[in-house]
């Protein structure tokens, strides 16, 4: 009896372990195989096998991110394969947005296949927004654009550009920034070619007509439908300011030239003073030779003593008259 009880205990403990192992295996199976998602797909008409869902798990792809958009596409009548959606997901695309865009394009009767839509999505553009803009045009408002007419008056213009997405040019086409830059360039050119700012204020629609003729949407992802002038104001008198700046610059140039001439005059005056001092030194040097010449003349008999005294009297008389003249000038 004791032996039989031991056998029963061993079998009971082994059955318990078997149950535990069975539960572990079942939990691992259900974690890898999304049974609930497979049932939802089956009753939605999406043909996908358990092996496919398990393979997604092994490839680290969330099955719900593929199957749920697949269900929407199947209900909308789109012919899309599970492998295509999974490949797009692995490439970094947004599967849900892609399917929504394809459904919206089908409803709006816009020709858009899966390959082009996937390329647009992988290019970094919002393919669903592109389809929506194709159906419902978008308004792009430009910032305040400053332009100057030929009479020098500044005109500040703000425009609204109505655009529609061009599905054919979404891949490789320029974006909104290019549209705004080209419209701004057209406004500056149109206002700059006007004779006066009054002509622009009287006919603001001439700006939009001229800009539209330039074909600014070439090479962009949009088609420009209209350009409307939202606001136009008169700004500064740029021409007058430029003239004032020019006059100020001319004034500074003239002052610099006058200062240069004054400096040259001062330098010339100093040179003349130096030349006068040089001449005076020569006179003093010459006067120093006079007594020697007189002595030589007396020695040689060319000059008498009386002649020498007469000459001294004349010099004294000259000095006296000069002194009297200087005194009279001081009194006056």
* Confidence class for position 138, pLDDT limits 50, 70, 90: confident
Q: Is the pLDDT of residue 212 over 80?
A: no
Burial 222-245 (b: 16+ CB within 10 A, else e): bebeebebeebeeeebbeeeeeee
What's the CA gap between 144 and 155, in Å, rounded?
A: 10
Packed helices 63-76 and 82-90: angle between N→C axes, nearest 10 degrees: 130
Residues 123 and 156 in one domain: no
Residue bearing the bigger pLDDT, 186 or 26:
186
Residues 129 and 164 in one domain: no
Phi-psi region of 290 (alpha: psi -120 to 50; beta: other; left: phi over 0): alpha
Q: Is the pLDDT of residue 130 over 60?
A: yes
Give residue-wise pLDDT tens across range 32-57: 566 777 777 777 777 877 777 777 77
Give me the pLDDT at residue 93, please: 83
287 belongs to a structural domain? no
Q: What is the DSSP string of 64-77?
A: HHHHHHHHHHHHHT
What's the CA gap between 108 and 104, in Å, rounded?
A: 6
Give me the pLDDT at residue 29, please: 54
* Burial of residue 52 (number of CB atoms within 10 Å: 0-12, 13-18, 19+): middle
CA 30 to chain centre: 56
Residues 118 and 194 in one domain: no
* Confidence class for position 2, pLDDT limits 50, 70, 90: very low
Of 238, 256, 286, the last residue of a domain is: 238
Residue bearing the bigger pLDDT, 99 or 194:
99
Residue bearing the bigger pLDDT, 45 or 91:
91
Packed helices 63-76 and 35-43: angle between N→C axes, nearest 10 degrees: 10
Q: How many residues does the chain have?
A: 332
Q: Is the pLDDT of residue 253 over 80?
A: yes
Diameter of the chain measured on Cα atoms:
187
48 belongs to a structural domain? yes
pLDDT (mean) for 158-172: 81
* Confidence class for position 303, pLDDT limits 50, 70, 90: low
Residues 59 and 91 in one domain: yes
pLDDT (mean) for 78-95: 84
Residues 145 and 131 in one domain: no
109 belongs to a structural domain? yes
Give me the pLDDT at residue 3, please: 47
* Confidence class for position 10, pLDDT limits 50, 70, 90: very low
Q: Is the pLDDT of residue 241 over 70?
A: yes
Residues 160 and 120 in one domain: no
pLDDT (mean) for 157-183: 81
What's the CA gap between 170 and 125, in Å, rounded?
A: 8
Residues 127 and 28 in one domain: yes
Of 82, 114, 135, the last residue of a domain is: 135
CA 244 to chain centre: 30
187 belongs to a structural domain? yes
Mean per-residue pLDDT of the chain = 77
pLDDT (mean) for 75-87: 83
Give me the pLDDT at residue 22, please: 59
Residues 100 and 206 in one domain: no
Of 192, 214, 238, the last residue of a domain is: 238
pLDDT (mean) for 164-173: 77
- φ/ψ of 77, rounded to 5, equals 85, 20
Give me the pLDDT at residue 15, please: 57
* Burial of residue 210 (number of CB atoms within 10 Å: 0-12, 13-18, 19+): middle
> Among candidates 128, 135, 134, 133, which has minimal Cα distance to 99?
128
259 belongs to a structural domain? no
Residues 131 and 169 in one domain: no
The CATH code of the domain that includes 162 is 3.30.479.30
Taking 3-state DSSP, the helix, strand and coil percentages for the chain, each rounded to the nearest 5, stand at 70, 10, 20
Domain that holds residue 188: 138-238
User: How many structural domains are present in the chain?
Assistant: 2
Give me the pLDDT at residue 28, please: 58
Query: What global pTM score does this model have?
Result: 0.56
CA 247 to chain centre: 32
* Confidence class for position 30, pLDDT limits 50, 70, 90: low
Give me the pLDDT at residue 191, please: 81
Percent pLDDT > 70 in the chain is 85
CA distances from 254 to 107, 224, 250, 260, 312 (A): 76, 54, 6, 10, 59
pLDDT (mean) for 268-292: 80
């Amino acid at each position: 009896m004791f032996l039989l009880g031991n056998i029963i205990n061993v079998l009971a403990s082994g059955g318990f372990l078997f149950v535990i192992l069975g539960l572990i295996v079942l939990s691992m199976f259900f974690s890898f195989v999304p049974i609930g998602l497979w049932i939802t797909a089956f009753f939605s008409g999406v043909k996908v096998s358990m092996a496919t869902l398990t393979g997604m798990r092994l490839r680290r792809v969330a099955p719900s991110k593929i199957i749920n958009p697949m269900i929407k596409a199947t209900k909308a009548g789109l012919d899309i394969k599970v492998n295509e959606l999974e490949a797009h997901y692995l490439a970094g695309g947004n599967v849900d947005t892609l399917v929504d865009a394809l459904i919206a394009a089908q409803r709006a009767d816009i020709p858009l296949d899966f390959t082009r839509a996937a390329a647009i999505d992988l290019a970094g553009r919002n393919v669903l927004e592109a389809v929506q803009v194709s159906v419902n045009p978008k308004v792009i408002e430009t910032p305040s654009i400053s332009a100057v007419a030929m009479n020098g008056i500044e005109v500040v213009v703000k425009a609204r550009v109505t655009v529609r997405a061009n599905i054919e040019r979404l891949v490789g086409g320029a974006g909104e920034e290019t549209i705004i830059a080209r419209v701004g360039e057209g406004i500056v050119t149109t206002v700059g070619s006007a004779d006066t700012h009054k002509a622009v204020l009287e006919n603001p629609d001439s700006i939009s007509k001229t800009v539209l003729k330039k074909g600014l949407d070439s090479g962009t992802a949009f088609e420009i439908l209209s350009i409307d002038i939202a606001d136009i104001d008169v700004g500064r008198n740029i021409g007058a300011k430029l003239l004032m700046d020019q006059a100020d610059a001319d004034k500074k140039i003239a002052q610099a030239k006058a200062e240069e001439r004054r400096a040259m005059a001062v330098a010339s005056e100093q040179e003349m003073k130096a030349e006068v001092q040089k001449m005076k030194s020569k006179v003093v040097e010459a006067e120093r030779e006079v007594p020697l010449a007189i002595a030589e003349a007396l020695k040689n008999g060319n000059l008498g003593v009386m002649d020498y005294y007469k000459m001294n009297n004349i010099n004294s008389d000259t000095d006296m008259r000069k002194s009297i003249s200087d005194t009279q000038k001081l009194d006056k």
